[in-house]
A and B are shown apart, each in its own frame.
Chain A
Amino acid sequence: MSSTPTAEQKPSSSDQATTERTEDINNAVIRLAGNSQKGIQTIGGLLAKLAGRSAQEVMTYMTIPSTISGGASIFQVRIGSGEVLTPGDEADFLVAFYQDSYENHINNLREGGVCLYDNDHVEPDLTDKRFIFVGVPMTSTTIEAIGGSARDRGKNIFVLGLITNLFDLQRDKLVHIIETQFKNKHESVLRNAMLAFDAGYAYQLGDIFNRSYEFEPGKAQSDGRITTDGNTALTYGLLAAGVRYGAGYPITPWSSIMEQLRSELPKYGGIFVQSEDELAAVSTAIGFAYSGHLAITGSSGPGLSLKMEAMGYASMAELPLIVINVQRGGPSTGLPTSVEQSDLMQAIYGSHGDTPRVVIAPKDVEDCYYIAIEAGRIAREFSTPVVVLTDQALSSRIEAFPEPDVSGVISPELDLEPRGEDFKPYPFDAETKHAPPGTRMTGNKYPVVTGLEHDEWGHPTSSPEIHQKMTDRRREKHKRMAASLPLPEIHGEKEGEILLIGWGSTWGPIREAVNVARESGHAVSAIHLRHIHPMPDGIDGIMDAFKRVLVIEMNDEGMYGYGQLATLLRARYADDKIKSLTKCDGLNFQIRQIIAGIENSSD
């Protein structure tokens, strides 16, 4: 939490107890720790929505236990008046519902931070002078407020009321959001929620903690912003891209995309098939693509492995196909609810044979929407499979961003224009544009799409010359695509000591690390690759202006000491100054880890 002016963090003495002090702050990290994933997610989500509506920047972070239901989880919300790039290394406030929530998370609280705990359940070590402890009987006050057989349900909403008062948040707006959220539930649900909320809002922390906080006015536009998570943004991006057909199989954390598509697509006249397995899902999607549609399939780690043979087919047959991979911790079943970026090599090279395809990655929640549109553009224009590598952290975290402009959204049309005698599905001198079934072939020669090596007309052949020429053709069209890409923007100066390179969801932490490092006098800049494979030409030109290059990614350094993107960059540019900063703990990069990596890379 950055506050202006710096406030005395000790609880005030008793003579000040009646007068509440208000501190202006521009940034706060609140970590909610409890045993009910759903309950905690609810308040976290409501806070994020409120921030999104109140000209504040917001980013959330949540851990999900990989259990069937319930289990210890946290939800961290960072709300700020300026740019918010990460959910925060440390919390300014910890709300501990249970003893284990307190024990497991107290060390994530920064020194001088506030621990709000439920003194019906938690006995903190009050001799720990690093923190300010504020006990509130959350359970009993909630039960008292709701009455009846409510037990302790609703204490999350009680805490939301408490936080609303403490941070002087816009109560009316929040009440409206709560009402909207519960409008489809039984009326008693909303009534109980409001009783709990009001009890929390009215709760007097009194002489324990007579202080409240007020956010400085945010710089973000409050009008026209939407607040949502990455998987939802990606889903609507696909719809905006003109995707009307898809198929998938449930797997965490991809499932919420397919769930939403299954409900949404029929409204657009489309179909989403829940398949019997991953192989069927990608095959059905290829059936849609062959039929003349822009189609998608998707999965997470293990599911991507299963799709590989058919994805290779799509490369060979040159069919447009979007494959979403919401990366999670691997290998094998790995860490289904943790974040990692270890599927890059598989996304690029995962099929047998030389199967060039496109791999792109979104940098934040907003970009999940636009990356889907970019995937659609490339798939259509170059008739090729495009893999979108998002990840678990992006899938569930909530951010606020400007409402996308939908005026350019067009509805897809099936191209069944008759094709003449000269039609070639795989011409050496032009891009592939298939004739889908239903297309009249005026020369009465109908095309067969195939995974066998083939000539320009699609006829199977094992001619050595043609296999070489077709291999060249499939490669070169991707190089043409790469040549049309813009160079990544440089964050920071165009030259300096060290250039950081990242991809995917490390964008925020890397950017914030650059800001922090530059403030303390380091000549650090960063670029971020949205198009990873093929990558745009000219990255060597950017690297030339820096003494060192550090590639930051959440995967293992492997046998030879370099992460997956670092390996690719070294292979392409054979430049020994390219070094690697990797980690594999299932968590996002913290700013201080990147700063430490910058400092250690100098030797």
Chain B
Amino acid sequence: MSTAAPAEPEKLTKKSLLSDHPTWCPACGDFAVLAAFFKVLEKLQIPHEKICTLAGIGCASRFPYFVNSHGLHFIHGRVLPLAMGVSLSRPDVHVFAFGGDGDGFSIGGNHLEHCARKNPNLTYVIMDNFVYGLTKKQTSPTSPIGFQSKTDPGGAIDRPVNPMKKLVSSGASFIARTHAAQVKHMMEMFERAIKHPGFSVVEVLSECVIFYKGAFDNANPRKGGEFELIEEKSWDNSPEDDERHDVTNEADAYAIADIQYPGKFGVFYQNERPSKNTLEQQLIDASQEKTAGADARELLKNRFALMK
């Protein structure tokens, strides 16, 4: 690669990351997600050209337009397989995928399942508002039973997806849940997700003030709700620690995910198993060792010799 580093690498700032003014509705929860993302990038000082923001379709998926970084706005539901392609072929790049509940749990649900099990090195932020916003209020896969929408005027009847349970069962290696009104917590989750080697997912409850106002008030202390955190084990052998959550325990993560809405926030699960990037590289190394590093011409010639 011929990336000559600049003489003096510019400092990554919120200003340098800011692109067009977001076109989200005023007071949309997604503004806070964007602001938290900028702050974490600023803190981590990732080289500007190595940041890559990708998205599918939906309100949340407008994200790449609002971040001044390499980006791609893709088709509905397919951002994860796209992001996997970027991550696997460009290990030098930090890959971020953004989307909403429709993109992630409905049209792209199967990709979430398989991306989780394959564990490519990338971070996926799902801005969950429990409603289809861009298409103006239809029932989403996370809309609670009874939610009145244009497709369910009498109230939703289908059981919603439980994102945390889905992610735990599909084998994602980092799973966290946060709230757009809790900026500090959101930043902490983003930072841990970015530092996690493998597939990291953060679900952010991000309110749609137009079509589902007040959806997450009961998890917002400023609105009279309770923001209950998962207490993680500190492994200090104290008696309190016995009660705390071991993030490597799948069954416990599943049990927390089962707590009634609004449930708990924090890291549900984390496990450092080899990423797909690592495993594919091992395959490359083993194959090239067998062929003693032969170049493309030699490899082709050797193969043709077997066809004679």
A interface residue numbers (CB < 8 A to B): 52-53, 224-228, 232, 236, 239-240, 245, 247, 264, 266-271, 273, 275-277, 279-281, 283-293, 295, 309-310, 313, 317, 403-404, 406-407, 409-411, 414-418, 435-442, 444-452, 459-460
Among B87-95, B151-159, B185-193, B255-263, which stretch is in contact with chain A? B87-95
Given contacts A441-B49, A446-B70, contact A266 B81 (CB under 8 A): no
* CB-CB contacts below 8 Å: B84-137 with A: 84-90, 92-93, 110-111, 113-114
Query: Would you mind naming 29 contact pairs between A and B with Cβ atoms under 8 Å apart?
Result: A225-B308, A226-B304, A247-B85, A266-B286, A267-B288, A273-B84, A276-B111, A283-B78, A283-B81, A283-B82, A284-B84, A287-B84, A290-B85, A291-B93, A292-B90, A295-B85, A309-B75, A403-B308, A404-B300, A404-B304, A410-B296, A414-B1, A436-B70, A438-B93, A439-B3, A441-B49, A444-B68, A446-B49, A451-B73
Given contacts A280-B81, A283-B74, contact A448 B297 (CB under 8 A): no
Q: Which residues of B contact A448 (CB under 8 A)?
A: 64-65, 70-73
* CB-CB contacts below 8 Å: B243-298 with A: 280, 283-284, 286-288, 290-291, 294-297
Q: B73, A228: Cβ atoms under 8 Å?
A: no
CA A439 – CA B52 in complex, angstroms? 11
CA A245 – CA B88 in complex, angstroms? 9
Q: B78, A226: Cβ atoms under 8 Å?
A: no
Q: A446, B68: Cβ atoms under 8 Å?
A: yes
Select from chain A the residue with minimum beta-carbon distance to B291.
Answer: A267
Q: Which residues of A contact B113 (CB under 8 A)?
A: 276
Would you give the shortest CB distance from A89 to chain B, in whole angstroms? Answer: 28
Give the bracket for the number of chain B residues in contact with chain A.
35 or more
Q: B89, A245: Cβ atoms under 8 Å?
A: yes
Question: Hey, what's the 0/1 contact readout for B53-80 against A, CB within 8 Å counting as 1?
Answer: 0000000000011001111111101101
CA A267 – CA B295 in complex, angstroms? 9
CA A227 – CA B303 in complex, angstroms? 11
| B83 contacts A by Cβ under 8 Å | yes
B interface residue numbers (CB < 8 A to A): 1-4, 6, 10, 16, 19-20, 48-50, 52, 64-65, 68-75, 77-78, 80-90, 92-93, 110-111, 113-114, 280, 283-284, 286-288, 290-291, 294-297, 299-301, 303-304, 307-308
Would you give the shortest CB distance from B280 to chain A, in whole angstroms? Answer: 5
Given contacts A290-B86, A295-B85, contact A440 B3 (CB under 8 A): yes
Select from chain A the residue with minimum beta-carbon distance to B286.
Answer: A266
Q: A445, B308: Cβ atoms under 8 Å?
A: no
CA A447 – CA B307 in complex, angstroms? 46
Neighbour of A445 across the interface among B68, B73, B93, B296, CB < 8 A: B68
Most chain A Cβ neighbours within 10 Å, of B74, B92, B113: B74
Q: A281, B81: Cβ atoms under 8 Å?
A: yes
CA A559 – CA B288 in complex, angstroms? 54
Given contacts A226-B308, A286-B85, contact A438 B303 (CB under 8 A): no
Q: Which residues of A contact B1 (CB under 8 A)?
A: 414, 416, 438
CA A418 – CA B49 in complex, angstroms? 10
Q: B304, A403: Cβ atoms under 8 Å?
A: yes
Q: B70, A266: Cβ atoms under 8 Å?
A: no
Neighbour of A239 across the interface among B3, B19, B300, CB < 8 A: B300
CA A451 – CA B52 in complex, angstroms? 17
Q: B70, A418: Cβ atoms under 8 Å?
A: no
Given contacts A287-B81, A407-B297, A446-B70, contact A437 B75 (CB under 8 A): no
Q: B300, A276: Cβ atoms under 8 Å?
A: no
Q: B81, A275: Cβ atoms under 8 Å?
A: yes
Select from chain A the residue with minimum beta-carbon distance to B62.
Answer: A460
Q: Which residues of A contact B10 (CB under 8 A)?
A: 444
Select from chain A the residue with minimum beta-carbon distance to B79.
Answer: A283
Given contacts A236-B303, A448-B65, contact A287 B82 (CB under 8 A): yes
Would you give the shortest CB distance from A602 to chain B, in whole angstroms? Answer: 45
Q: B88, A273: Cβ atoms under 8 Å?
A: yes
9 closest A-B pairs (Cβ-Cβ)?
Answer: A287-B85, A280-B81, A266-B287, A226-B307, A283-B81, A276-B114, A437-B70, A284-B85, A283-B78
CA A313 – CA B79 in complex, angstroms? 13
Select from chain A the residue with minimum beta-carbon distance to B288.
Answer: A267
Select from chain A the residue with minimum beta-carbon distance to B283.
Answer: A266
Q: A451, B284: Cβ atoms under 8 Å?
A: no
Neighbour of A437 across the interface among B4, B74, B86, B297, CB < 8 A: B86
Q: B296, A268: Cβ atoms under 8 Å?
A: yes
CA A239 – CA B298 in complex, angstroms? 12
Q: A439, B49: Cβ atoms under 8 Å?
A: yes
Would you give the shortest CB distance from A339 to chain B, in whole angstroms? Answer: 23
Q: Which residues of B contact A240 (CB under 8 A)?
A: 296, 300
Q: A268, B299: Cβ atoms under 8 Å?
A: yes
Q: Which residues of A contact B294 (CB under 8 A)?
A: 267
Would you give the shortest CB distance from B135 to chain A, in whole angstroms? Answer: 16
Most chain B Cβ neighbours within 10 Å, of A226, A285, A291: A291
Select from chain B the residue with minimum beta-carbon distance to A279.
Answer: B78
Q: Which residues of B contact A414 (CB under 8 A)?
A: 1
Q: B88, A280: Cβ atoms under 8 Å?
A: no
Q: Which residues of B contact A276 (CB under 8 A)?
A: 81, 110-111, 113-114
